[in-house]
Amino acid sequence: MRVTVIGAGYVGLVTAACFADVGNTVVCVERDPRRIAALRKAQVPFYEPGLSELVARNAQASRMRFVEDVAQGLPGAQVCFIAVGTPPLPSGQADMSQVRGAAAEIGRCVDGPLVVVQKSTAPVGTVAMVQGIIDQEMAARGVQHWVRVVSNPEFLKEGSAIDDFTRGDRIVLGSRDERAVAVMRELYRPFNRNHEKIMVMDPASSELTKYAANTMLATRISFMNEVARLAEAVGADIEQVRLGMGVDQRIGSHFLYAGAGYGGSCFPKDVKALAFMAREAGLRAELTEAVDSVNQRQKQRLFEKIAAHFAAEGLRGKTIAVWGLAFKPNTDDMRDAPAIDLIEALLGAGARVRAFDPVAMDAARRLWGQREGLELVADAPGALEGADALVVVTEWHAFRSPDFEQLARSLKARVVFDGRNLWEPASVRAAGLQYHGIGRS
């Protein structure tokens, strides 16, 4: 099939590359000059395991090409994905300007029958809104083509995006149009062979499914962070509690980790957007609002622990080593990452910070540039130079088994803050370090 994908971010580029890899001809439309310049050299402008090889292979085979605007990328397409950003507005509402912009461009350029696939995470009513914009633009041009908009939320996770896309649990399609659904079934056929994964539902249910799924996962994390606080107060260990809970098959072990709070480009904004949607519907999503506020508070937790530890001397003039900047391992995405809150709070308190992340250093430089008090260093040992304390914020594999004796020799105050409960407190203490985890009294 001939496929166009608008937006070559984490979702759009993975979608494009995976469809190209099974033989479709895919055009990616990307308006960001930095991203398009890299893509034209078959380079992926962000870190996602396996994606560079996939893009290079399909660009080389002429199954993928990259253009700057929809007018160049849409003619001849049978399916056009919208995979643009839907960042949060201050009210929590999803900013739909990129989706509206993409819809208008499609309406101005469409030249034949087309299924438009709304893949961006967007509130209930977006399919109807996109359809309305396209119809209006076609009417303004005096043309009439069969164009149908289908909701197809994306459930991939950064860090394992290709696997999630090609072997995901389900493929949700929100549409009442049989012909559009048939086109989508045909497009997804290579990823739907082992067993039936396609779930067809009405557009509103499909749109809400995505928000509900992300909010559920965020709820588990905030719940565990709340229980971690209680564990600290009453003398329990959240890691023992987590194991005791997770074996219960009604609960399961995923997303039960207490830590530095959830971040990334999805959970924080999707939780807020669900709460906003409820308010718009005249309801109050009390649980969802609490999930968000517990998380905001949790993102301050590491700073509070560090400040409490150094309360006598104060943080001014102290140097804190930070391991991990990305919001989770295997990505360079720093959107809403807990490391940002921590580092801003440390700098605000007069501390100096030496920070390292295995892949997010470019993202960190773009975020902070030259920032007084902050040094972005080349490797994990480099962060320890002259440091009083170490805090681990992202659970990269490379941080899981450091040489604690070496750490004890390097850190002036001989103290570590384990924001992801990666380490065994007893082994850390045996090396002569003080240990602070999350929810471990």
Catalytic residue numbers read 266
Place of tokens 């890899």: 21
Q: Cβ of residue 103: shortest distance to ligand NAD, in angstroms?
A: 9
What is the sign, positive or negative, of the torsion defined by CA atoms of 257, 263, 267, 268?
Answer: positive
Angle between helices 203-234 and 286-298 (to 10 degrees): 50
Q: How far is the CB of 29 from ligand NAD (least distance, A)?
A: 5
Q: Which stretch binds ligand NAD (CB under 6 A): 50-58, 84-92, 370-378, 380-388?
A: 84-92
User: Applying CB under 6 A, which part among 56-64, 78-86, 223-231, 337-345 lies near ligand NAD?
Assistant: 78-86
Q: Is 32 among the residues that bind ligand NAD (CB under 6 A)?
A: yes
Of residues 319-348, which lie at the interface with ligand NAD (CB under 6 A)? none
The strands making up 114-118's β-sheet, listed across from edge to edge, are 64-67, 25-29, 2-6, 79-82, 114-118, 147-151, 171-174, 198-201
Q: Is 50 in the site for ligand NAD (CB under 6 A)?
A: no
Q: In whole angstroms, what is the distance from residue 102 CA to residue 98 CA?
A: 6
Pick out residues in 187-226 that bind ligand NAD (CB under 6 A).
none
Q: Which of 3, 5, 19, 31 binds ligand NAD (CB under 6 A)?
A: 31
Task: Please report, as a single letter, which amino acid is at residue 419.
Answer: G
Write each residue from 156 to 185 as x if it is in contact with ligand NAD (CB under 6 A), else as -, in one continuous string: x-x---------------------------
Tell me the one-letter amino acid at 37.
A
Residue 353, Ramachandran bin (φ over 0: left; ψ between -120 and 50: alpha; else beta):
beta
Tell me what percent of the chain is helix, strand and coil, each rounded to the nearest 5.
45, 15, 40
Of residues 12, 88, 203, 261, which one binds ligand NAD by CB under 6 A? 12
Question: Considering only 154-162, 221-229, 351-359, 430-438, which stretch makes contact with ligand NAD by CB under 6 A?
Answer: 154-162
> Shortest gap between Cβ of 73 and ligand NAD (angstroms)?
8
Can you say how many angstroms the Cα of residue 5 is from the centroid of all Cα atoms in its chain? 19
- Is 29 or 180 the residue whose CB approaches ligand NAD more closely? 29
Residue 314 CA to residue 390 CA, distance in Å, equals 16
Binding site for ligand NAD (CB under 6 A): 6-12, 29-32, 35, 83-86, 98, 101-102, 105, 120-121, 154, 156, 158, 265-266
